[in-house]
């Protein structure tokens, strides 16, 4: 069976903004291509997918990782983990998933673990590649700092990371002020801007320059930054919507 045919269609709306099956496939394909082009992804790579959801990236990576490779994904949504284990792990045993009961007011309000102190359930320095798409876009400042630190910890020296953010620079702020952005980051919280202060995890943006400094402080070198079109700015080439970093653990 094609894994895309087995997807719980009702879950697609929880993955992205009005996402449908074709968009789901496209995002997975774009991430896979970025990993192959810029993160030295190989059939035997050890890959961590932070916030693995219903397998948007995992399904695409089943076309790359061999039985000598390793994929580990974790997420805060029990139904997503159960589906991935039933449909993906059963066919590709090197793909394994873990449930993390981390609090998120928007996605897991009953979670028992604090995201600002949560330790990823993996040993230090075991992954060649780490992926975090649509994760830091839902984490306020302290939580973001911890997840960046943990991502660095579990990567091997020289390991690569692909991570997406919403970054606020002069252009993005100008588009927001003119009402041209799809997201209205006008509410200030500690170290970030949000669209809904009552439920800040709905969407979170960080100052561009400050984010660069945080990544550097945590030992992650920025190899590449591809700005997305979420703010309404004109984008050359494929538009991932969010702002996409390629990072290397120094």
Q: pLDDT at position 237, please?
A: 72
Domain membership flag for residue 201: no
- Residue 143 host element (H or E): helix 141-154
pTM score above 0.85: yes
Domain membership flag for residue 114: yes
Domain membership flag for residue 8: yes
Domain membership flag for residue 185: no
Residue 233: which of 189, 136, 168, 185 has the closest Cα? 168
Q: pLDDT at position 176, please?
A: 97
The Cα 6–Cα 21 span in angstroms is 11
- Residues 6 or more apart whose CB falls under 8 angstroms from that of 106 comprise 138, 199, 201, 202
Instruction: For residue 13, give the CATH number of its domain.
Output: 3.40.50.150
| Mean pLDDT per 10-residue interval, the chain, length 250 residues | 80 60 90 97 98 96 97 95 96 97 88 95 98 96 98 98 98 97 97 96 97 98 96 86 96
Domain membership flag for residue 31: yes
Domain membership flag for residue 23: yes
Q: pLDDT at position 148, please?
A: 98
Q: pLDDT at position 14, please?
A: 58
Q: How many helices (H) and strands (E) does the chain have?
A: 7, 11
Query: How many distinct structural domains can be found in the chain?
Result: 1
- 190, 159 contact by CB (below 8 A): no
Taking CA 25 as the corner, what is the angle to CA 127 and CA 181, rounded to the nearest 5 degrees? 95
Domain residues for 37? 3-167+208-249
- 247, 163 contact by CB (below 8 A): yes
Q: pLDDT at position 15, please?
A: 56
Domain membership flag for residue 196: no
Q: In what order do the strands lie in the sheet with 155-165?
A: 95-99, 70-75, 46-50, 127-132, 155-165, 243-249, 220-226
Question: Which two structure tokens, joined as six digits, stand for 175?
Answer: 């588009």
Domain membership flag for residue 176: no
């Amino acid at each position: 069976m094609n894994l895309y045919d087995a997807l719980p269609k009702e879950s697609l709306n929880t993955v992205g903004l009005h996402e449908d099956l074709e968009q789901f496939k496209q995002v997975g394909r774009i991430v896979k291509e970025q990993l192959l082009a810029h993160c030295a992804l190989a059939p035997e790579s050890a890959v961590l997918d932070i916030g693995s959801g219903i397998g948007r990236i995992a399904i695409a990576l089943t076309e790359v990782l061999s039985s000598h490779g390793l994929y580990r994904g974790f997420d805060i949504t029990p139904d997503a983990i159960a589906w991935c284990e039933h449909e993906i792990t059963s066919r590709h045993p090197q793909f394994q998933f873990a449930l993390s009961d981390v609090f998120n007011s928007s996605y897991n309000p009953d979670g028992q673990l604090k995201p600002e102190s949560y330790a990823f359930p993996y040993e230090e320095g075991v992954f060649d590649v780490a992926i975090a798409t649509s994760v830091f876009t839902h984490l306020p400042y302290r939580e973001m700092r911890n997840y960046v630190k943990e991502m660095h910890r579990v990567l091997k020296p020289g390991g690569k990371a692909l991570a997406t953010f919403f970054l606020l620079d002069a252009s993005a702020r100008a588009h927001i002020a003119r009402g041209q952005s799809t997201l209205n980051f006008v509410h200030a919280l500690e170290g970030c801007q949000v669209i809904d202060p009552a439920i800040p995890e709905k969407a979170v943006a960080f100052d561009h320059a400050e984010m660069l400094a945080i990544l550097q402080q945590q030992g992650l070198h920025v190899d590449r930054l591809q700005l997305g079109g979420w703010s309404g700015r004109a984008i050359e080439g494929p538009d991932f919507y969010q702002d996409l970093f390629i990072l290397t653990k120094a």
